[in-house]
Structure formats: C-alpha cells, structure tokens
Amino acid sequence: MSSHRHTPAPANPGESIDYERFLDCVHCGLCTAACPTYAELGNENDSPRGRIYLMRGVTDGRAGLTTEIRRHLELCLDCRACESACPSGVQYGRLIEPFRVAMESSAEDRRKTDDWFHRWVLFWMFPNRQLLEKLLAPARLAQLIRADRLLVDTGLWKWLPSRVGRLATLLPRLKKQPSPLPGQLPAKGQRRARVALFTGCVADAMFRETNWATARVLQENGCDVIVPANQACCGAIHFHAGSSEPARELADRNATAFRTEDVDAVIVNVAGCGSMLKEYGHHWPTEGADEARRCREEFAAKTKDITEFLDELGIVDPPGELRLKATYHDACHLAHAQQIRAAPRRLLAKIPGLELVELPESELCCGAAGTYNLTEPEMAERLGRRKLDNIRATAARVVVTANAGCLLQIARQARMDGERLAVAHPVDLLDLSYRRLPFSF
C-alpha cells in the first residue's frame, strides 16, 4: 500500500461538504471558551466559529486558500470540544475533517504530508505494529542504560531535529513486552457476551499490557474475547493528516477482518481509535463497492469503547483494594467525539479504596491529539503544561485516562518537569483490582 498516495480533490476544498453544515453555526461564540487553541492564543481565527467562517469564505469564493488561512485550519487539534459546547448542534468534525482532506489533496505546491516525517514515521512506521516493535528494541536498550534520562537531563534532545527530539522524549518507560494476545480467550463464569477486541498499532506496541488487561477484565465479566489476527491500524493517523485513501484501505481491511455478525460488539480501548472506527460509515459514504461500504457501516455500528461497553453490561464488582488518590482526564475523542464521560468514572468508583479527585479543565485537550504533539510541538507543549498545572492542583499522584496519546503526552510533560506522576488506563486499575494486585509506580 502506498502510504502517501493522494486522491484527486476539487479545486475548492469545501465543494464536497453539505453546505447546510456551515449554516448550522450561528456564530454565538459559546464554543470559544471550550477551544484549546483559542484559550491559548485568543485569536478569533483560531476558534471554531472563526475556522468555520474561514472555510465558508473559501467555499463561497470570498477568500482564497492562502497560507495564512491554511495555517489557522492546520492548527486545529480536531478535539471536537466545540461540538460539546455548541447549543446549535454544529458537527464541526464533519466540516474540518473533509475540508482538510481536500485541502491537502488539492495543494498545488508541496503538500504538508509529503515530508520525510509524515512519509516514513507517521505513515510507514506508526501503523506497522510489527515494525514498530522491532524499532523499539534500541529504545529499550537506551532506557536500560539510562541514556534516555541523559538525553532529557542534558537537553541533548533539543539538538535533534525538532520532531525527532519530541518523539524521543515521548517514549514511555518500556516494560517487558508481553506475548501477543491469542486469537480467543474464554469467558469466566456465566457467558454474558461475545466480543472482538481491536488492539491497534502504536497502542499495542507500547501498551500491550493494557490490551491484556482489557481482555482479562472482559473475561472476568463473562465475555468471550476474539482477537482477529489480520486487523490493521484504524487509519486515524492518515485521515487526520489529510491522507484519505490509505485510511480507507485500512478501514476496509478492518471491516473485513472483524466478522461483526458473530459478535455482540467490537471493543476498543483507545479513544482516538474508537472515534475513527465509529465514523467509518460517514467518512467515505460514496467511495468503494457497495459491499465495502456496507461492511464499514456495520463495523462502525458494532464498535464500543471498553468503558462504554462495561458500563452498559454492568460489571462484576472488582474485589481488590487500591488505596490511591487519582484524577481522571477526559480524552477529547472519548468525551467530545463519542460523548462518553460518566461511564469511566462510574467504573472507577467501583474500585475499593480508590479516591477520585475531579480535575480542573478536565475536558480541555492535553495537546496529544493523535500525532499533533509531534507535528505542532509548540502548541502541544503549551497545552501539556496547562494540563500538568491542573493535575498538580488536585494533589493526585495517578492520572487515569482512556487514550494512549493522552497517556504519552501527560507522562512526557511530567518527566520533563521532574514531576513524579503515574499514568494509567481505567482498565489497568480494574484489572489490578480483579487480580488483587497492588498499583506500582
């Protein structure tokens, strides 16, 4: 698969968008307080209503797609916080995402995604789980001899190419990699459901223990767990960078790999992946064969976040006590894109001994936003610091969040600031409680 192929796009990036979606915005400004880039910069062009005005101006022919307008649109994190704040129900994601795909595809000069970093790191290395695992071996060695700490403590990472240095400091503490999940795991006790588990690419390479924890928690709650061997990356890395066709190929591969008619749900534990999987049905409504479109729609309809699924199922009470003071960060693509907020908190409240302190600005993006923290490091750094300041205010030593990107971003910010802080996924804590194991920092 060519990872940098572009589908020809109309000269006007807004041409394929239902114009009524632009008109849903009444420019009331209630979205501005929820927007991370506006909160940091105070520039109306970097607010949701400002970006909608710019996109509509280009679509109407009142404004050209200048470098300045492109920049305002590229700086958007696509966190969808504006959708949660909007009283008019503006579907901002269905404006910014197709507009940026078309904007990238129709670029006359060098495309943003044609550089070496997008081509070889984001589009080639990240979605390839097996390759990424092999490339992480030197990183494990570097951590073993503490070369990673030397890189940070001396500031040597700043002398590397900016995105490479950022990538080096984002790496979490790489534990011994568990074996891959088997193709099937049986339910414990009375069988209540049969589910398929989406394991992801970067998430499985860096957080496979969380995939194992997810499977074990599902088993404890009476679920047979199927893990399709030929599943692929969700496609979000490509799609949000404006590379639509490779993303669609990955979507078709996943829709084929998961026999959705045989399971009650497709379970995902990464908010960014879950948002992408749930939206397979509308990203390419007219592209591909009828059968492929039907498979994408059925796959999307069956997809559920692990916290959403367990909350609906009703979990078996976890018995083990975890005496921890923790705070919960709402991952943008869980809270805003999927509108899931209460479920993770209800599940965590079931764990004996766990004290959950509410996080100020919990729903404001931490700066991860998929690969945004690599492609827009300055804004990601500002938002990361802001998030860490809010975490400090809680006095919690554990941050819980349901997205791999947020886990990486928050842990990085804590390391860079010398803050002793643990990060964990909700199912990591549930798994420890079911197994009656302590939490280790």
- pLDDT (tens digit, 9 = 90+) per residue, 314-351? 999 999 999 999 999 999 999 999 999 999 999 999 99
Q: What average pLDDT does this structure show over 171-176?
A: 84
Question: Final residue of a domain: which of 295, 311, 327?
Answer: 311
The crossing angle, in degrees rounded to 10, of helices 162-170 and 377-394 is 30
What confidence tier does 252 reach under pLDDT thresholds 50, 70, 90?
A: very high
Is residue 325 domain-resident?
yes
More confident residue, 130 or 9: 130
Question: 223 and 292: one domain?
Answer: yes
Of the ranges 2-11, 119-128, 193-202, the best mean pLDDT one: 193-202
Is residue 3 domain-resident?
no
pLDDT score for 129: 86
Question: 75 and 160: one domain?
Answer: no
Question: What dihedral angle (degrees, nearest 10) is formed by the CA atoms of 422, 424, 426, 428?
Answer: -110
pLDDT score for 246: 92
For residue range 64-74, list pLDDT tens digits in order.
999 899 999 99
Chain centroid to CA 321: 30
Is the pLDDT score of 30 beyond 70?
A: yes
For residue range 384-435, list pLDDT tens digits in order.
999 999 999 999 999 999 999 999 999 999 999 999 999 999 999 999 999 9
Is residue 13 domain-resident?
no
For all residues of the chain together, what is the average pLDDT?
Answer: 92
Question: Final residue of a domain: which of 280, 311, 342?
Answer: 311
CATH code, domain with 54: 1.10.1060.10
Question: 411 and 349: one domain?
Answer: yes
pLDDT score for 162: 80
Is residue 6 domain-resident?
no
Is the pLDDT score of 5 beyond 50?
A: no
**Cα–Cα dist 224/226, whole Å:** 7
Question: 164 and 192: one domain?
Answer: no
More confident residue, 104 or 2: 104
Pull the structure tokens for residue 170.
């984002």
Count: domains in the chain: 4
Question: 128 and 54: one domain?
Answer: no
Half-sphere exposure of 397 (CA within 13 A, CB side): 9
Structural domain of residue 245, as residue ranges? 184-311
Contact 246, 3 (CB under 8 A): yes
Residue in this structure with the two tokens 């059925």, named with its chain if needed: 298
Is the pLDDT score of 1 beyond 50?
A: no
Contact 212, 307 (CB under 8 A): no
Is the pLDDT score of 226 beyond 90?
A: yes
pLDDT score for 110: 59
CA angle, residues 432, 140, 383, in degrees to nearest 5: 70
Q: What average pLDDT does this structure show over 152-179?
A: 86
**Cα–Cα dist 80/271, whole Å:** 13
Q: What average pLDDT does this structure show over 238-251?
A: 91
More confident residue, 173 or 37: 37
For residue range 91-116, list pLDDT tens digits in order.
999 999 999 988 887 765 557 777 88
* Distant-in-sequence contacts of 165-169, Cβ < 8 A, 24+ apart: 166/373, 166/374, 166/377, 167/121, 167/374, 169/412, 169/415, 169/416
Question: In Å, what is the CA distance from 411 to each residue of 269, 313, 397, 423?
Answer: 18, 31, 12, 6
Q: Is 298 exposed, middle or buried (0-12, 13-18, 19+ CB in 10 A)?
A: middle
DSSP code per residue over 236-260: HHHHHTT-HHHHHHHHHHHHHHS-G
Is the pLDDT score of 147 beyond 60?
A: yes
Question: 330 and 389: one domain?
Answer: yes
Pull the structure tokens for residue 194.
């049969």
**Cα–Cα dist 357/440, whole Å:** 19
Question: 153 and 212: one domain?
Answer: no
pLDDT above 70 as % of the chain: 96
CATH code, domain with 296: 3.40.50
Q: Which SS3 state, helix, strand or coil, does residue 401 take?
A: coil
List Cβ neighbours of 166 (8 Å cut-off, separation of 6 or more): 157, 373, 374, 377
Q: Max Cα separation, the chain?
A: 64
Question: 78 and 98: one domain?
Answer: yes
Pull the structure tokens for residue 409.
């971003």
Question: Final residue of a domain: which of 311, 335, 365?
Answer: 311
Is the pLDDT score of 379 beyond 80?
A: yes
The model's pTM is: 0.92
Contact 318, 350 (CB under 8 A): yes
Is residue 51 domain-resident?
yes
DSSP 8-state class, residue 3? T
**Cα–Cα dist 349/303, whole Å:** 24
Is the pLDDT score of 11 beyond 70?
A: no
Question: 128 and 27: one domain?
Answer: no
pLDDT score for 138: 86
- CA nearest neighbour of 267 among 93, 427, 83, 97: 427
Question: 201 and 301: one domain?
Answer: yes
Question: 191 and 226: one domain?
Answer: yes
Half-sphere exposure of 231 (CA within 13 A, CB side): 25
Is residue 91 domain-resident?
yes
Contact 273, 200 (CB under 8 A): yes
List Cβ neighbours of 312 (8 Å cut-off, separation of 6 or more): 304, 343
Is the pLDDT score of 79 beyond 60?
A: yes
Is residue 380 domain-resident?
yes
The full length of the chain comes to 441
pLDDT score for 6: 46
Is residue 202 domain-resident?
yes
Q: Is the dihedral of CA 187, 190, 191, 197 positive or negative?
A: negative
Strands of the sheet containing 324-328, edge to edge, are 354-357, 324-328, 398-400, 422-424
CATH code, domain with 430: 3.40.50.1860
What confidence tier does 10 reach under pLDDT thresholds 50, 70, 90?
A: low
Question: 59 and 134: one domain?
Answer: no
